[in-house]
Amino acid sequence: MMSFKQAKYDEPFIKDLQSRTTFETVSEDYDEGIVPSVMLNKEPKVPVIAEYDVVRHFTRLSQMNYSVDTGFYPLGSCTMKFNPKYADKIASMPFFSEMHPLRPEWSVQGTLQVMFELQEYLREISDMDEVSLQPLAGAQGELTGVLLIRKYFELRKELSTRREIVVPDSAHGTNPASAAMGGFNVVEIPSNDKGTVDLDALRYAVTDKTAAFMITNPNTLGIFDPNISEIAEIVHSKGALLYYDGANLNAILGITSPGLMGFDVVHFNLHKTFATPHGGGGPGAAPVAVNRKLADLLPGPIVRKGESGYYLDRSNNKLGNIASFYGSFGVLLRAWSYIKRNGSDGLKMNSYRAVLNANYLAKKISNDVRISHPGLKKHEVVASSEESGKRALDIAKFIIDAGMHAPTIYFPLIVKEALMIEPTETVTKKDLDDFADLIHEAVTSTQEELHKHPVNTASGRLDEIKATRDLILKR
């Protein structure tokens, strides 16, 4: 393995860079007399910094930030795959990036074509009937889905009785949070010993009070639920709907689909499966797809192809809109690029390799940490460090100190000392072997040794309790 030492600057706080402004915005000095005097503010509170210092400041800060372009980033559930550079190039083409959202349709045909094609691709990939590109990230896709479900039952005059949304205990936090935000009571059901949905618990939980069951498949343990068709039947037999959290789609592109599994509503995380960059926390994009039952409820305009070109169809959107315009086009465009570049063969191969890597790594580490549930994995593997006597947190700090990103830790909640590892398809066998070696080293180190890490990173272990206590949110 390469040795690792992250840049470690005593980078000043931005306000301490005060010098002079060098960037010229507007040359003319306009009179402030035009501003209604009661509203006039003499000067906005913004720091005064030379442009070159701004660039240097952020360049140095960036060097203190680990990224996919720096190295292996097996952060479970986040699909931190390589973000292709052609997509950056396309997203910065000025006649895409400079388009105002209220431009007349005839003047943005290229943009509308991209959106139309992306809708079609996502329909084909998911085997669903209609797609809205509007939602801005996974959680907003979920909220959209929940509101669609709400609207569906409202129109059927069943909303007053269908007050519950069921989620498995392995669900991502956004699932129950979105269900609650949409006004539903959340009913959590336990997973069985295989890590999948306990059918008896499901039969018990799903009643005529249930609006929907929200799951992801493969689930957050990386396991494909073999009973998915039966699950769909149980849910539908009670008149409820089935929601697909598409965060884990990367394992199954071209192999199966939410439509084939019997789902009614799906969101895609374009920033995961379709390789759009995560931006240090965002932006993302999460189109929502539905089957016929819900098609005319979808929010936002849908792009259609007519005789004289592409246009925005607003006729059906009973949900109004969930974001201002048509979604994060800059992100949609990157996903479009990725799908076109990879094509039917490439997308499927990516799923193959993502799954191969996850299973390979699962076996490699299985002597050092307990794999949460035996058997085939899909996009990721969840291990527990409990039996090694080492805390997941300490292992994570050991890993980052060696120049790899740590897995997601302490999630899913049903696995103690969880290490959730998603290698994705864009890593080499050597990356996986090196990572497995690190896990081995970590669990065979002494507790004392582990506690010393990290030392090669821009900062040593940080005191989170102090942060909460002092609550310094600005300076």
Ligand X SMILES: Cc1ncc(COP(=O)(O)O)c(C=O)c1O
Q: Where are the beta strands (DSSP E) in 251-307?
A: 265-268, 288-290, 302-306
144 scored as a contact of ligand X (CB under 6 A):
no
Name the residue nearer to ligand X (CB basis): 87 or 438: 87
Minimum distance from residue 396 beta carbon to ligand X (Å): 17
From another protein, ligand X, none, which one binds at residue 210 (CB under 5 to 8 Å depending on kind)?
none
- Shortest separation between residue 407's beta carbon and ligand X, angstroms: 13
284, 300, 407, 423: which one contacts ligand X (CB under 6 A)? 284
Q: Taking the complex as a whole, how short is the minimal distance between the CB of residue 380 and another protein, in angstroms? A: 13
**Among 196-204, 245-253, 358-366, 458-466, the segment contacting ligand X (CB under 6 A):** 245-253
Q: Which listed range, 3-11, 242-250, 300-308, 441-449, lies at the site for ligand X (CB under 6 A)? A: 242-250
Among another protein, ligand X, none, residue 69 binds (CB under 5-8 Å by kind): another protein
Alpha helical stretches, state H, 197-283: 199-205, 228-237, 258-261, 270-273
Interface with ligand X, residue 247, by CB under 6 A: yes
Distance from chain centroid for Cα 35: 44
Query: 411-434 b/e with 16+ CB inside 10 Å = b?
Result: bbebbebbbbbbbbbbbeeebbeb
161: its two tokens: 């009785």
Element (H, E) at 320: none
Q: Kindly tell me the sign of the dihedral angle through the C-alpha atoms of 364, 365, 367, 370.
A: negative
Residue 60 near residue 14 (C-beta atoms within 8 A)? no
Q: How far is the CB of 442 from another protein (least distance, A)?
A: 14
The answer to whether residue 409 forms part of the interface with ligand X (CB under 6 A) is no
Q: How far apart are CA 365 and CA 386, in angstroms?
A: 14
Q: Taking the complex as a whole, how short is the minimal distance between the CB of residue 242 and ligand X, in angstroms? A: 16
225 near ligand X, judged by CB under 6 A: no
Q: Verify binding: residue 269, ligand X, rule CB under 6 A.
A: yes
Give, as ranges, the residues between 145 and 164 that touch ligand X (CB under 6 A). Answer: none
Single out the residue of 77, 134, 351, 388 in contact with ligand X (rule: CB under 6 A): 77
- The option from another protein, ligand X, none interacting with 193 (CB < 5 to 8 A, set by class) reads none
Q: Which residue carries 């063969």 as its tokens?
A: 345
Give the integer Cα–Cα distance in Å for 66 and 384: 25
Q: Which of 111, 126, 132, 220 binds ligand X (CB under 6 A)?
A: 220
Strands 241-246 and 130-132: unpaired
- Phi/psi for 400 (5° steps) reads -65, -25
By the criterion CB under 6 A, which residues form the site for ligand X? 77-78, 137-139, 172, 174, 216, 220, 245, 247-248, 269, 284, 286
